[in-house]
Structure 1
């Protein structure tokens, strides 16, 4: 790691684990999908979130994240779009029709797979807090005079993405399993979905109203 100009790698790993353990829009989305559509949907969501992290890491490595954060107008647009998208997803869950009980997970077609993945990706990419995280957090673990800064950022981004995927996949499996046990009671499952939808709306409003 030192050859890439990366420092305090152990501290970096610990910080990444703590970050993933802190609930946020990404966790809410994964739990929501797992509750509503089962473990497969949750795992697809985890993949979408990870793909978003890869995009953030790449933009950060080439300095594009800093340019976005420096523009008040662009940053405001991303913030409002991210908040509105979370509110939209939450309202869809709040006003979804109650489904009959099922002992097995819902069957998803290819189109549903793509939709779940893309929605997770968009949720992550349009989260300004993630943008600021990559902008402020990663540089602390790259030496100022490193010769391969871009490679260092990309490597840290890859490590971050792998840890995030593992953590989020575990979250999806746990939430999906608990939801499956509750699926025999459609009333319980329906209110679980509504609770997650309400959380989405609250997160979206908080995100949109957060000061730059």
Structure 2
């Protein structure tokens, strides 16, 4: 793999990371509903999920999803149901907090956000299929496949991790500006809504 090929892949990864999708929506949802610490934990989970998804794709699982409508649908709906369920839990907790003396505690913890986005990143079907269709274009057949695959995986996860961090910090900062109890309530509701929209976007994905 030449340096120019690697640089083109890094730039393409950055563009993909900047385009809002289910992953970005879930990170923004955590940031608005639970704050910076939880949002950054969700970014770490998304990086781990992307690493697993890309590794599975390069091992051939993505090709199975691309050709099997049943497998694609199973992965798609599993991820969609999870995100929508998490969004509903966030909305329910924000409602209960509003009924009593609402404190600043996050409705979703950092560990739950991390594990949740590991699942989102790993099982988002469009991501896996994208890897299968896109990544091989940058593989040099005359060079070591393992080395090139590892380099592309690390590059993608690092670049998209940076763009996800930007989204997380910007969204959490915007949420902190809403310091009144009523504004905090609506920010948590907005976070839950973003997770539900993320799930709907996953459900709408087509193979």
> Partners of 2:163 and 2:205 in 1: how far apart?
27
SS at match of 1:55: helix
The yes-or-no answer on 1:177 pairing with 2:173 is yes
> Partners of 2:17 and 2:169 in 1: how far apart?
15
Q: Equivalent residues in 2 for 1:1-212 (5 A)?
A: 1-2=1-2, 8-96=5-93, 97=95, 98=97, 100=102, 102=104, 106=105, 112-143=109-140, 145-182=141-178, 184-212=179-207
Once superposed, which parts of structure 1, at least 4 consecutive aligned residues long, lie more than 4 Å away?
Answer: none
Asked whether the equivalents of residues 29 and 193 of structure 2 are also in contact (C-alpha less than 8 Å), the reply is: no
Asked whether the equivalents of residues 126 and 205 of structure 2 are also in contact (C-alpha less than 8 Å), the reply is: no
Equivalent residue pairs, number: 202
Deviation of 1:94 (Å): 2.5
Unaligned runs of 5+ in 2: none
SS at match of 2:109: helix
Please provide the CA RMSD for this pair. 2.3
Deviation of 1:149 (Å): 1.9
Deviation of 1:95 (Å): 2.5
CA distance 1:151–1:65, change in 2 (3 Å) = farther
CA distance 1:32–1:172, change in 2 (3 Å) = same
Cα displacement string for residues 166-196 of structure 1 (whole angstroms, at most 9, x for unaligned residues): 22222222222221221x2121222222233
Deviation of 1:10 (Å): 2.0
What TM-score does the superposition give when structure 1 sets the normalisation length?
0.85
SS at match of 2:177: helix
